[in-house]
Amino acid sequence: MMEEEELEFVEELEAVLQLTPEVQLAIEQVFPSQDPLDRADFNAVEYINTLFPTEQSLANIDEVVNKIRLKIRRLDDNIRTVVRGQTNVGQDGRQALEEAQKAIQQLFGKIKDIKDKAEKSEQMVKEITRDIKQLDHAKRHLTTSITTLNHLHMLAGGVDSLEAMTRRRQYGEVANLLQGVMNVLEHFHKYMGIPQIRQLSERVKAAQTELGQQILADFEEAFPSQGTKRPGGPSNVLRDACLVANILDPRIKQEIIKKFIKQHLSEYLVLFQENQDVAWLDKIDRRYAWIKRQLVDYEEKYGRMFPREWCMAERIAVEFCHVTRAELAKIMRTRAKEIEVKLLLFAIQRTTNFEGFLAKRFSGCTLTDGTLKKLESPPPSTNPFLEDEPTPEMEELATEKGDLDQVSLVCVTTGNLPNVRF
């Protein structure tokens, strides 16, 4: 009975231990062995024949059996040891797994702590940043307040100094101070609702108005427009006053220029009145000689008094041309019958030469200025010889002279063409 059970166990074991060739080859590579028992093609008969090759060797059968049993016991011991070791390994594995789970829980706890600390740090950084931003705003407001206070101090002191210098006619100092005060006042435009700022602004405007009136009065005294008083010479006061006029309302500058030019040409209107002999066309070159002398006299006496950008010499010449055109048109209408072609050509030639002289000397920057208005003449044309339709009077005059080709020249010089330029 026992033998049958052992045979069944052996058969089951052999059935279980039948491995595939690939697995067997892998085992041989991992655990190489020379023992015939470890071979996959182990044959018990061949193995016994190896142990007992002859009949005489059977005498040692007991010894061989004992060795095999000893070897079996050793294998059993090894198997038990391995099995026990595997059991311990399982326990160790479970323990290691538990320890790993505990370590993971601890790690999650530490991560949560780090996250909490990071959130606290972020909140702290936000608070610090908010405080820094508040400090930055405070610094900016403080800087603005200090700057505004300095500007206010400069404005208040500047207005006081400006009023004092205006009363003493210290125009040189006023020119520099006024520009600075106006620049500082620009910073207070949004504060005009404050009574003190508005009062300072009104004082600046009042000082500007007083300066304008005072400068005009000084020029009127130096260059009277009426009366027999001779005009005064240039002075440092008037030169500095011109610098102040550059900063004031442009109308002040225009009024100064207008009065000076009018006074400068007043002698011309007297010398070349319509009833004077030198006013006729045959002496037209005297008009141009007179203005040339006046321009030279202006450069010598007043050239440094007026700022260069005012172009006063050119303005005088331009106004002279406007006045001359009006005067010649008036006298030629009065004495139209005395006009001859030869005389007319002479006047045109002299006028053309004079125009060439002006074109070489001046740049023409004031022609589009528009600040000076002609006294009693229409706007000049850029074409000095623009023709117009001849009137019956012109045709009659041309017929009497026997030269119809000169009708356009008569049109130019009789004043019927308003666009004549001298």
Q: Are 370 and 299 in contact (CB under 8 A)?
A: no
Neighbours of 376 (CB within 10 A): 9
Distances (CA, A) of 103 to 95, 100, 110, 114, 118: 12, 5, 10, 16, 22
Instruction: Number of helices (H) and strands (E) in the chain: give both, helices first.
Output: 14, 0
Query: Worst-scoring range by mean pLDDT, 6-15, 263-272, 299-308, 326-335?
Result: 6-15
Which residues of 81-181 form beta strands (DSSP E)? none
pLDDT given at position 223: 79
The region of weakest confidence among 171-185, 253-267, 356-370, 396-410 is 396-410
pLDDT level of residue 339 (50, 70, 90 thresholds): confident
Other CB atoms within 10 A of residue 143 CB: 10
Position 296 pLDDT exceeds 80: yes
Alpha carbons 315 and 122: distance in angstroms, whole number? 75
How far is 42 from 49, CA to CA, in rounded Å?
13
Q: What is the pLDDT of residue 219?
A: 86
| pLDDT per residue as tens digits for the range 358-415 | 898 888 887 764 434 443 444 444 333 334 444 444 444 343 333 333 333 333 333 4
For residue 270, which amino acid is it? V
Region of poorest pLDDT, from 177-181, 327-331, 361-365: 361-365
CA distance 157 to 181: 9
The amino acid present at 219, given as its one-letter code, is F
**Confidence band of 318 (pLDDT split at 50, 70, 90):** very high
Across the range 34-56, mean pLDDT stands at 74
pLDDT at position 231 = 54
pLDDT of residue 275 exceeding 60: yes
Lowest-pLDDT choice from 112-121, 150-159, 321-330, 404-413: 404-413
pTM (2 decimals)? 0.56
How confident is the model over 215-243, as pLDDT tens digits? Answer: 988 888 887 765 444 555 567 888 888 88
Cβ burial, residue 186 (10 Å; 0-12/13-18/19+): exposed
**Measured distance CA(359)–CA(324) in Å, rounded:** 17
Mean pLDDT of the chain: 77
**pLDDT over 80 (residue 289):** yes
Contact in structure between 377 and 291 (CB atoms under 8 Å)? no
Q: How far is it, in rounded angstroms, from Cα 301 to Cα 263?
A: 15
The pLDDT value recorded for residue 323 is: 92
Residue 161 and residue 320: Cα distance in Å, rounded? 42
Tokens of 238: 């008037």
Task: Give the range among 39-48, 120-129, 191-200, 346-355 with minimum mean pLDDT.
Answer: 39-48
Nearest residue to 325 (alpha-carbon basis) of 291, 368, 366, 364: 291
Burial class of residue 181, CB neighbours in 10 A (0-12, 13-18, 19+): buried
Q: Which is nearest to 280 in space by CA: 347, 223, 192, 230?
A: 347
Q: Residue 300: which pLDDT band, with cuts at 50, 70 and 90?
A: confident
Please tell me the total number of residues recorded for the chain in this structure.
422
